[in-house]
Structure 1
């Protein structure tokens, strides 16, 4: 079959983007042809992919997205395919990968009523309805069970159109047999002594991931613990505002920022704790990647995959409704100062990674995409 995948932007270090690539490759491995429509693509193009960079421009994103949709639909009319798979909400999809939370829920919970008269709201609301309306035929690949009730509440989407997928982290995130040696080499490379504590945060989009909360928690540590603690932040974003915040809080000398990297497993093995105090997070693959590496996690409950941390007893989930910075500060200090607890959480994380169904998402998604004809 000929499959068309649509997403606005691809870059190698985004969680949704990595899942798109793994799903598309799983479909290609079954013998199907892959065409990809994007506005922007960063990085290498897999062999055999037909990449179509859609040549549209606009001053604001929602207008550009509408032009993207119109251009793609015109091209598909000239060159039809068997399935259209979207990773952003838009009309005309046979399958939608639900990597984003419910827009309507956010608009009503976080915005004033006048926002619903704005062109931006009208665009994103209409595009979400095109996917979830009861009269639509789009099959929906759900990653977070937390979001499904919200879509049903706002749109009345029939249950049979939802397909719940397991998480899908790469198997190379699992701790290898030589994990202690990898950890020792990593810590030597970055000048970390045995008594030093490495706090790690990973994720593109520093604002939504809560890097400001992490820096505040780091600055709140008691002096003896603070002197031993370093923070590394990895992700594709402008780090200048957070460097300024770190300087204002007096912790700049203990913080390092990195752009997206391909050697994340080394960082997971070399760290002592992953922190992820996100403001909003539909899923959170990095939480499972940490567990697979045996790294304890401190996370806010808003994250769709936070329940795995609690289920595995592999860290701490702090409240996000409402979020209280003092609670995050206290838990960070407690977790960093309690080495026996971290060893306990690490053992539980590794046991969870050995038994849980957290690796097969691309194959399950391909089953749905290829399962039947266009609606």
Structure 2
């Protein structure tokens, strides 16, 4: 069985990219040949993967995406596969992994009246309609329960074409037996004293993740807590606008930027608080990574996985409409609170009783079942 996967760009530290790789590896483990279509690939190639890097053309992202779609369709027509699974919306998919929120919903709620008149809106709407319209045949795998009614509102997608997957947190994020030793070594490596607090923000796409909100929350802390707190930012994105903001708020010495890394579990054990005040987030995988490691979380309710933090009583969720003053207050309260051990225990207990891990296996099962049905 030859299974094809399509994603516009691959880099090792993106959430969508990590999900793709784990699902594809799970399918390979079950005996399938893996073909990958992408426009760029950063990092090592998995053994046995046939990665086809397509040189797309176009003056804008949506035009390059259209060229990407057309090249995939042409290649598969010349060299057929049993099933095509996409991680970006496009026509011709058998299965779509819904890592993104509904494009139309965002366009109508956060853009001006003129936006639906643009070629960008028309093209991305066409991509989304090709996946979710009532007459499409694409099966969608959703990872956020919040998004199902949103897609159905815009496209009337039948229930049988939408499957909700459980989370898929990697077991290496779970709190290890020697977590205290790892924390001690981590904090020594980064020069963090016992009385210093470390706030952690993880994720590529700093604007969407709410890094500006996090920097403002740091700047709002009262003394001496403010001078004893650092913010580590781990991810890939443009840093300059946020460095400029930190300087304006006199916190540039307390904000440290680190590029995407593969040792996130150490950071989760070494920090005192994960802050994730996202503007828009389909799931927020890092929320669950923090949860299973026992790190208290402060996030916003727009994140698809925010309800797990509330269910586990492992931190606080800022309700919409967002208010910066509320985030500031909760940041101060969580860093000063004596509930840290309670949140940690609640998180670890919850992580041992709930299925937060099986997404790659469930997705691989569904993809292979669809390939058999198609055959």
Give the TM-score category using the shorter length: over 0.9
TM-score (norm 2): 0.98
Please state how far the C-alpha of 1:109 moved relative to its aligned partner.
Answer: 1.0
Please state how far the C-alpha of 1:105 moved relative to its aligned partner.
Answer: 0.8
Question: Aligned residue for 1:334?
Answer: 333
Give SS of 2:299's match. strand
Once the two structures are superposed, what CA deviation does each residue of 1:271-323 show, in whole Å capped at 9, x if it has no partner?
Answer: 0000000000000110000011100000011000000000000000002x321
Give SS of 1:227's match. helix
Question: Aligned residue for 2:362?
Answer: 364
Question: Aligned residue for 1:240?
Answer: 240
52-61 vs 268-277, which moves further: 52-61
Question: Aligned residue for 1:343?
Answer: 341
Please state how far the C-alpha of 1:355 moved relative to its aligned partner.
Answer: 1.2
Structure 1 alignment gaps of length 5 or more: none
Q: Distance in 1 between matches of 2:191 and 2:109?
A: 46
TM-score (norm 1): 0.98
Please state how far the C-alpha of 1:114 moved relative to its aligned partner.
Answer: 2.2
Once the two structures are superposed, what CA deviation does each residue of 1:14-37 show, in whole Å capped at 9, x if it has no partner?
Answer: 001100000000000000000000
Question: Aligned residue for 2:72?
Answer: 72
Please state how far the C-alpha of 1:341 moved relative to its aligned partner.
Answer: 1.0
Q: Distance in 1 between matches of 2:175 and 2:308?
A: 18
Give SS of 2:286's match. helix
Please state how far the C-alpha of 1:194 moved relative to its aligned partner.
Answer: 1.0
Deviating 4+ runs (over 3 angstroms) = none
Question: Aligned residue for 1:355?
Answer: 353
Q: Distance in 1 between matches of 2:314 and 2:374?
A: 42
Please state how far the C-alpha of 1:247 moved relative to its aligned partner.
Answer: 1.1
Q: Distance in 1 between matches of 2:57 and 2:136?
A: 28
Q: Distance in 2 between matches of 1:152 and 1:191?
A: 50
Q: Distance in 1 between matches of 2:140 and 2:134?
A: 12
Please state how far the C-alpha of 1:112 moved relative to its aligned partner.
Answer: 2.6
Question: Aligned residue for 1:147?
Answer: 147
Root-mean-square deviation (Å): 0.9
Please state how far the C-alpha of 1:189 moved relative to its aligned partner.
Answer: 0.8
Q: Distance in 2 between matches of 1:242 and 1:193?
A: 25
Q: Distance in 1 between matches of 2:159 and 2:327?
A: 37
Once the two structures are superposed, what CA deviation does each residue of 1:99-126 show, in whole Å capped at 9, x if it has no partner?
Answer: 0000111111112332111100000001
Please state how far the C-alpha of 1:374 moved relative to its aligned partner.
Answer: 3.0
Pairs within 5 Å for 1:268-307: 268-307=268-307
Give SS of 1:76's match. helix
Structure 2 alignment gaps of length 5 or more: none
Please state how far the C-alpha of 1:228 moved relative to its aligned partner.
Answer: 1.3
Question: Aligned residue for 1:20?
Answer: 20
Say if 2:216 is the partner of 1:216: yes
Question: Aligned residue for 1:325?
Answer: 324
